[in-house]
């Protein structure tokens, strides 16, 4: 008996996540892979499938893009690590909600959203399960809009399209331009980065190849409910202190000289955001989003293992080495902390 070929569309196909999803799905049989992006010249050389080029903010493009598609892996995004509320609405929230609605109308069977574990309410530092309640930050529009999109998906999970919220950990690996490693590495050189609460919080890191594989598993999984939510993280949760010491040793930068509690970190970050227009550089020295990422996100991943068969394979040190080698070749540039539509 042959397995029916699935038409799987990957949005944001030229971004860090999209490229890794494309790479992982390219090795699978019985899949007709479709790449959606704004600029096809930025696609990886190994991809030779169908390309649907356009802008996710264009409803007419979305309708054409979704023709004859069985599943959508939505990795196309516009993101910033501070403020930018209007830009997030225009470039991320409204296009994504529109995409979900149009995908339902087009008869798409499964929609997978690239989400994040940091939408969870972790105020008690408890272990976060796959369906943990969400909580808006009030200061990071991108994450707050992901919460709203998740709510929209839940509310429309009875419309014939399975909604899958992929709660991803902090990205690590070569090619990632917006994340914990590219943000921290140049800042550690300044001697101004403190430990937050002694660096004891645990981080949910996830490597490039494991990210791609998680979406393969989500595409292949059977017997999913109308709405599903999965924590996608590595097998270990190193402390912030372990991670920063590892980066500092590899990059030859100093480690923090002092520690501050999280409330002080948030207050200092708020001040840096407010002062940013008066200071040089592509982005504030510290933002509340960075502090938020450094909080404890200890996630239970047993449900993703049980329902998807997903188990992370690459250890965080290996992925970190690959990311740091790439940053070293670029002399550890100061990132802008905004990511355009891909």
For the chain, give the mean pLDDT: 94
Q: Which domains does the chain have, with CATH numbers?
A: 6-176+204-234+299-313 (3.40.50.720)
| DSSP character string of 54-93 | --TT-HHHHHHHTTT-SEEEE----EESS--HHHHIIIII
Cα(80)–Cα(66) distance, integer angstroms:
27
pLDDT > 70? residue 124? no
Rounded average pLDDT over 284-313: 96
Rounded average pLDDT over 103-120: 98
pLDDT at 125: 65
Q: 3-state class of 209 per DSSP?
A: helix
Q: What is the per-residue pLDDT across 61-79, written as a single tens digit (0 to 9) for each? A: 999 999 999 999 999 999 9
Cα-based torsion angle of the residue sequence 20, 23, 25, 31 in order, rounded to the nearest 10 degrees: 140
| Tokens encoding 216 | 């393969």
The pTM score is 0.96
Q: What is the per-residue pLDDT across 35-51, written as a single tens digit (0 to 9) for each? A: 999 999 999 888 989 99
| Residue (of 109, 112, 102, 105) closest to 56 by Cα position | 102
pLDDT at 129: 93
| Residue (of 296, 259, 240, 269) closest to 139 by Cα position | 269
Rounded average pLDDT over 189-198: 94
pLDDT at 281: 74
pLDDT > 60? residue 317? yes
H or E stretch at 31: strand 31-37
Burial class (CB in 10 A: 0-12, 13-18, 19+), 51: middle
Q: What is the per-residue pLDDT across 263-292, written as a single tens digit (0 to 9) for each? A: 999 999 999 999 988 877 778 999 999 999
Rounded average pLDDT over 115-139: 91
Provide the CA 122 distance to its chain's centre, in angstroms.
Answer: 18
């Amino acid at each position: 008996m042959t397995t029916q070929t699935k038409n799987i569309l990957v949005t944001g196909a030229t971004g860090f996540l999209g490229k890794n999803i494309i790479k992982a799905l390219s090795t699978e049989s019985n899949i007709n892979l479709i790449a959606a992006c704004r600029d096809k010249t930025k696609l990886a050389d190994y991809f030779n499938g169908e390309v649907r080029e356009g802008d996710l903010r264009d409803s007419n493009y979305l309708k054409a893009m979704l023709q004859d598609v069985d599943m959508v892996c939505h990795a196309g995004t516009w993101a910033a690590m501070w403020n930018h509320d209007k830009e997030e609405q225009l470039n991320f929230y409204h296009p994504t909600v529109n995409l979900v609605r149009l995908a339902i109308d087009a008869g798409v069977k499964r929609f997978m959203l690239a989400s994040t574990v940091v939408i969870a309410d972790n105020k008690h530092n408890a272990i976060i399960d796959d369906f943990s309640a969400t909580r808006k930050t009030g200061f990071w529009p991108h994450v707050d809009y992901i919460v709203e999109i998740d709510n929209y998906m839940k509310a429309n999970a009875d419309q014939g399209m399975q909604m899958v919220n992929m709660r991803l950990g902090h990205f690590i690996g070569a090619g990632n331009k917006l994340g914990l490693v590219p943000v921290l590495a140049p800042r550690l050189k300044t001697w101004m980065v403190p430990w937050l609460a002694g660096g004891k919080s645990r981080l949910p890191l996830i490597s490039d190849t494991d990210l791609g594989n998680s979406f393969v598993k989500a595409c292949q999984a059977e017997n999913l409910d109308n709405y599903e939510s999965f924590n996608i993280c590595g097998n270990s949760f190193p402390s912030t202190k372990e991670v920063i010491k590892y980066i500092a040793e590899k990059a030859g930068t100093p480690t923090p000289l002092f520690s501050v509690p999280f409330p002080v970190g948030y207050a200092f970050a708020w001040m840096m955001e407010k002062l940013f227009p008066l200071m040089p550089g592509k982005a504030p020295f510290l933002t509340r989003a960075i502090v938020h990422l450094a909080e404890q996100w200890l996630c239970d991943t047993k449900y993703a293992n049980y329902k998807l068969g997903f188990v992370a394979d690459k250890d965080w040190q290996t992925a970190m080495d690959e990311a740091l080698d790439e940053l070293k070749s670029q002399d550890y540039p100061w990132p802008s902390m905004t990511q355009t539509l891909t």
